[in-house]
Chains A and B, each alone.
Chain A
Amino acid sequence: MTAASGILAWVVPAEVAALRRWLPAAVGVLAVIFGLELLRGEGARQVGIVLAMVLLGGCRACLSGSTHTWKRHVGAAFATASGATGIAMFASGGTSVYEVWTAGWVVIPAAVALYWLLSTRVAGWMAGRADAAFVDACLRGNRRLEPRLAQVGAQVLLLHACVPVIVPLVWIADVAVSPGNVLGGAIGDAFSAEHFAAILGSAAFGTWVANSLIVSTGTTVAGLLLAIPAGYAFSRYRFSGRRASMFLFVLVQMFPGIIILLPYFMIMKSLGLLNTSIGLIVVYSVTALPLCVWMLKGFFDSIPREIEEAAAIEGCTRLQIFRRFVLPLSLPAVAVTALFSFLTAWNEFLLALVFNTSNDQYTLPVGLASMIPATGQQWGDFAAASILVSVPVVILFIAFQKSLVKGLSAGAIKG
């Protein structure tokens, strides 16, 4: 190389680059663990965690600035001490999942740091070696290691992100199949279908499902009937007041729900629509309208006008064009919008809570929430009902996630 030493000043061994990122991350995780330890109130473990944070931080500090062999030795010493702390904590503590995980966050970063600090590549780099053979070996190692280390880092991050998502699901499934009305207990310690039987056999649950189905279906149909023509008009015609009305559709999404809630309540009361499915259908289809119109307008915009122009030249009327060409082409989009309306209505809580106060008009959200009052919560039954209600919705959502997410975020950002 023209200047091998110059290259190595700029290209850092992948191990060192990884440690520079990972050690602070480990210290951050340990800070969170320290918070949890404060909740648990175990003094010895708190001291251990703080010690590990300091030691790993010290190890990281040795990797900054200029390179010296003594720095590497100090860093290795820090890592060793941190590892010893973790092993001590592990040996003295229990073996619950939490405690093993905690010890892992002390021991593993320390072990990795120690292993790398003792490797010839890092040793050579910190000693300032710059001969061509070493530089070449170093660069070749980086090529090989970098993607792997990035992969490992990403996997650790994503796994940690997935745990808070998965664990509640496992827990709720466990509660649903545990006999009796219990929250605790080991996962999978006992099995009973009593809660599912109770829910499926309960008249109230049937009523809620029926109400939710009526309201959601009604909302979807009404919403589409309003949104499709409007979205089409906004996409295809340039009429006076177009910009103003499109702006109105955006503006509505800015209003806090609460400012509308009370007047809605009064209007529904005056129209005698409280405690009816129609009341909710009317309100839901209008509240979901702006986003639906924007989503559909976007989809219609993506259908080339040439198709319609060609059809018009062949003598089709506007309505024929819409029915024969535009609608079939935009069917997937309409389906996504329909799903969106349906899910909105299916999951809505606040308006249903305020409008439909009589038990026989509860929708699922209000019904399920009523199973968890301040006292006398029926956790087992609630868990079973939750699973029954969520599974179809989640499957629908996941199946259509790409288009839903695209439509939603496009609509939301434009709006």
Chain B
Amino acid sequence: MPPRRPQLAGCAWLLALVPLTALADAVPEVTVDAAKQEYRRIHVDVRHAAGPETTAYEVWFSDRPFRSTPDAELHSTVLIGDVSGLARTAPAFDTQDCWSGGLPIHRNADDLPVVARDAGAWSCSLSGMTPGADQWIAVVPVGANGRSTASFEPVMARTDVADERTPEPDTLHITVTLAAVVLAAVALLSYLRFRDVRGGRAGTRHAYVYVAPALIGLTALTFYPIAYGVWLAFTDASQSHLGQENWNGIGNFVTVAASPGILRVGAFTMIWTFTNVAAHVGIGLLLAYTLTRPGIRGSTLYRTVLLLPWAIPGYISVLAWNGMLQPDGLLNAILGTAIDFTATPNAARASVILVNIWLGIPFMMMALSGALQGIPTDMFEAAELEGASRWDQFVRLTLPNLKGTLVPISLLGFIWTFNTFNTIYLMTRGNPYVGFGEPGATDTLITYVFSVAFDYGQYGVAAAWSVALFLLLVGISYVYVKRSGVMELAR
């Protein structure tokens, strides 16, 4: 996540347009407490004697000395008012830590800091400052009619806490291993070639040269990363210490098993996968069957139109659906409603599933119409002659003969859908939010692992997740293939 900028800074130019009228109240005295400086933070103590016209103080800053507010940026605003009945709470976001009387400052219903008119002093820790650079800071009183015109003298401050850059990871070992893997692959191929030539199969010696680039590429950039990923799963690798992983045993797997919300996200992943695959295969088969019937008028046109969701880049379709499902989007316009489909968990889940169904039908439709056209037609003439009904022909002849395609293709669909990332990421990013550190309502295992890796930076845990998911997929595929007996069919 990028560091958060002072929230109001962007609006500074708007305030500069406010016409200036006289506000006679005195400019508070600002001192910088260098002892309390933190990383990217400057601590200022403010002593004020607010006049009756002053309703708020604004903290302005710049990397140059400044005399007027248009030359600086607004950091924070502290209101002056009645604090009775207001709580001293810590802010929801720590951009603006302020204190009065040694305690967290009062905050009003909008979470804005409020200081009593007669408080005399307050202090703020200003976040988001450039480390190691001089900053000028001034506090300007603001009244109902505008900003004080009294001249002010900004105070200089700097945070000396060095920018805590992540050390450049030591990645030499990755490069070295990569080289070793490539060399090993070359050695293996050379050995095989040598053996073939000595074994009298001299005609094949070119073959090794031909396959070498592809095989080496595959080894170095697919099998090695997989092995590396498996190794990472047993280390404490994370964003902050890359390249210095320590062996962590099965610790990451324990973390995985104990993840909050693991059952919920697992259940949703299964619902997501099965609903999608069932709909893809079911609707795809229905459309393919209809389109391959002889004599359907316009079937070429229909086929082309129905192919479009596959032809259009997937991310564009998903983003477009995202727009259509907005409260002011197309779907609501058609229905005459204003529902935010991605706001509540179940509606969001249904939405992402429906969008993904839309995306996946054409592939199944095309693959299945290919398979349908491959079934010999004379068989159906024989069945027709024997008096079998259309339905019996479909169930007892078409389906069994499609099995050789249906089984591998639905397994493929299962693996693809399970691994789908774009649809959910671009529709909801896993939201609606459920709880901190927990997967969101529409997160599947895959999108959750992505956020574990790239939002939380827990590489080791994410790698452990990946390994676990891979084993799960292999297990399911194995059972499925065994059960469906497709191996026997493909003899």
Contacts and interface: CB of A to CB of B under 8 A. Distances in A.
User: CB–CB under 8 A between A and B in the complex?
Assistant: yes
Given A259-B470, A349-B422, A406-B370, A226 B214 contact: yes
Say whether chain B's binding surface is mostly helix, strand, loop, or mixed: helix
Contact of B328 (A183, A289, A394): A183
B56 interface: no
Interface string B261-294: 0000000000000000000000100110011010
Interface stretch (A65-73, A135-143, A195-203, A234-242): A234-242
A350 B447 CA distance: 11
Interface in A225-259: 225-227, 229-230, 232-234, 236-242, 245, 248-249, 252, 254-259
B397 interface: no
Nearest to A290: B218
A130 to B, nearest CB: 19
Contacts of B376: none
B277 to A, nearest CB: 14
B156 interface: no
B256 interface: no
Interface string A380-399: 00110010011001100110
A329 interface: no
B323 A237 contact: no
Interface in A325-376: 346-347, 349-350, 354, 365, 368-369, 372, 374
Interface stretch (B70-78, B333-341, B434-442): B333-341
B466 A259 contact: yes
A47 interface: no
A375 B163 CA distance: 30
B221 A286 contact: yes
Interface string A87-118: 00000001011100000000000000000000
A164 interface: yes
B46 interface: no
B201 to A, nearest CB: 7
A233 B398 CA distance: 37
A154 interface: yes
B322 interface: yes
Contact of B477 (A166, A225, A254, A349): A254
Contacts of A192: none
Contacts of A154: 290, 293, 296
B412 A165 contact: no
B228 A266 contact: yes
Interface in B174-202: 174-175, 178, 189, 192-193, 195-196, 199, 201
A147 interface: yes
Contacts of B305: 162, 165-166
Contacts of A406: 370
A409 B421 CA distance: 22
Interface in B293-308: 293, 295-298, 302, 304-308
Contacts of B339: 39
Interface in A170-184: 171-172, 175, 182-184
Interface residues of B, number: 113
Interface stretch (A120-128, A267-275, A302-310): A267-275
A379 interface: yes
A368 B225 contact: no
B218 A289 contact: yes
B267 to A, nearest CB: 19
Given A254-B473, A260-B222, A262-B229, 10 more contacts: A41-B337, A158-B296, A233-B207, A238-B201, A254-B477, A256-B473, A269-B242, A270-B169, A394-B308, A413-B408
Interface of B: 169, 171-172, 174-175, 178, 189, 192-193, 195-196, 199, 201, 203-204, 206-211, 213-215, 217-218, 221-226, 228-229, 232, 242-243, 283, 286-287, 290-291, 293, 295-298, 302, 304-317, 319-324, 326, 328-330, 332-337, 339, 358, 363, 366-367, 370, 387, 405, 408-409, 412, 415, 418-419, 421-422, 425-426, 429, 446, 449-450, 453-454, 459, 462-463, 465-467, 469-470, 473-474, 477
Counting from the closest, the 9 A-B pairs by CB-CB distance are A270-B171, A237-B207, A263-B225, A230-B214, A229-B210, A397-B311, A233-B210, A259-B466, A239-B204
Interface of A: 10, 36, 39-41, 94, 96-98, 147, 150-151, 154-155, 157-158, 161-162, 164-169, 171-172, 175, 182-184, 225-227, 229-230, 232-234, 236-242, 245, 248-249, 252, 254-264, 266-267, 269-271, 282-283, 285-287, 289-290, 293, 318, 346-347, 349-350, 354, 365, 368-369, 372, 374, 377, 379, 382-383, 386, 389-390, 393-394, 397-398, 401, 405-406, 408-409, 412-413
